[in-house]
């Protein structure tokens, strides 16, 4: 019996032919089976059989280059432009590659419009054109307000503010003071024109168009109630074409201060008499009614629309009987203003000395 198990120390020759001498020199022994071909993933990485994702490229394999993304190409393009035109273009890189979590809206403000800034903008624009007027006579001193209408010092106010005055002092918004003289008065419209002596470069107010005023329009009043120069209040137009009757008697001038009387200007409306006796000499005009707070000293001041234009000259305010009998009289939201179109129509007459220009219903 023949034994086929090789003995220790015996060597069994390979079953395949040997290659010529030197053919495999320096190379590993070829595998018994043909190796699997490498696989290229969609991301461009070549994976050899038996190697994991962490395995590096095998010898002899070609590394496939990844295609740059669109964002990378855009960044590169913008960087080139930035180098050519300066650092300002570099900001485009961030805009192109980053998406902001929040959006901002820039409001374009028309610098010539007062509407955008509301009451504050109107007050800032018009206050330099509003003055306090102190009129002194033998009977005492009255305080009211006025509106500068020319840079040379022409000022519109109520006739009852300066009626019978011997001297007139004007206080400007910056606190400076100057003397003024009466140019002309119109008792029938309760208007007066005074002029500041030696004035120049003053800021004149813009006179608007009262025919365009509507009930409900927002308005601002500026004046010197109780001697508080440059006081600003606001409200709306409450009504139009109110028939307001005021006194034309010089002795009924608005009193404010030492020996000045009640400090309120009496007037009549709808058959009722308010703030005292108007006397026997009166005139009636169409007025704008407003709920903007008006108090003694506001007379002659401005009623202003939200475009910063003068639409009326404040002339009267209502106080209840209870207030009139006490020292706490004040506005309850019933004020009246002479329409600015009435003022504009009377300017030539006032510049010529005034007098009875008509337009009011005089009972004198």
DSSP characters for 237-271?
EEEEEEEEEEE--GGGPPP-STT-TTS---EEETT
Of 127, 299, 315, 319, the catalytic one is: 299
Phi, psi of 253 (to 5 degrees): -55, 150
d(CA 276, CA 317): 12
The residue count of the chain comes to 364
Identify whether 16 is a catalytic site residue: no
Of 160, 163, 247, 319, the catalytic one is: 160
Nearest to 273, CA basis, from 314, 326, 313, 320: 320
Identify whether 101 is a catalytic site residue: no
HSE-CB of 161 using CA atoms within 13 angstroms: 37
Please list the residues that pair with 148 across neighbouring strands. Answer: 155
Contacts of 334 (CB under 8 A, 6+ apart): 238, 289, 291, 317, 318
Identify whether 299 is a catalytic site residue: yes
Distances (CA, A) of 127 to 155, 234, 307, 330: 14, 14, 14, 22
59 burial level (CB within 10 Å; 0-12, 13-18, 19+):
exposed
Which residues are annotated as catalytic?
160, 190, 299
């Amino acid at each position: 019996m023949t034994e086929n198990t090789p003995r220790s120390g015996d060597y069994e020759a390979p079953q395949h032919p040997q290659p010529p001498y030197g053919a495999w020199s320096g190379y590993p022994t070829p595998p018994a089976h043909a190796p699997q071909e490498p696989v290229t993933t969609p991301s461009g990485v070549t994976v050899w059989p038996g190697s994991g994702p962490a395995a590096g490229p095998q010898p002899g394999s070609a590394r496939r280059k990844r295609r740059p993304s669109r964002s990378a190409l855009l960044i590169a393009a913008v960087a080139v432009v930035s180098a050519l035109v300066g650092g300002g273009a570099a900001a485009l890189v961030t805009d192109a590659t980053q998406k902001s979590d929040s959006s901002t809206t820039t409001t374009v403000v028309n610098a010539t419009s007062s509407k955008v800034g509301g009451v504050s903008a109107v007050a800032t624009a018009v206050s330099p054109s509003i003055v306090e007027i102190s009129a002194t006579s033998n009977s005492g001193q009255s305080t009211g307000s006025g509106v500068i209408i020319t840079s040379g010092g022409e000022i519109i106010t109520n006739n009852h503010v300066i009626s019978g005055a011997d001297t007139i002092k004007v206080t400007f918004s910056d606190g400076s003071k100057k003397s003024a003289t009466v140019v002309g008065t119109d008792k029938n419209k309760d208007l007066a024109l005074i002029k500041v002596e030696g004035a120049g470069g003053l800021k004149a107010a813009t006179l608007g168009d009262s025919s365009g005023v509507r009930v409900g329009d927002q308005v601002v009043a500026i004046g010197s109630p109780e001697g508080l120069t440059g006081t600003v209040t606001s409200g709306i137009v409450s009504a139009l074409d109110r028939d307001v009757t005021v006194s034309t008697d010089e002795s009924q001038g608005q009193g404010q201060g030492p020996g000045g009387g009640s400090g309120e200007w009496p007037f009549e409306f709808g058959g009722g008499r308010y703030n005292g006796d108007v006397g026997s000499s009166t005139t009636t005009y169409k007025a704008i009614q407003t709920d903007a707070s008006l108090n003694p000293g506001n007379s002659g001041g401005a009623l202003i629309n939200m475009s910063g234009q003068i639409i009326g000259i404040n002339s009267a305010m209502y106080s209840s009987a209870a207030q009139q009998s006490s020292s706490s009289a004040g506005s309850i939201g019933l004020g009246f203003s002479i329409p600015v179109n009435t003022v504009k129509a009377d300017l030539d007459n006032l510049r010529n000395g005034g007098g009875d220009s008509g337009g009011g219903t005089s009972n004198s």
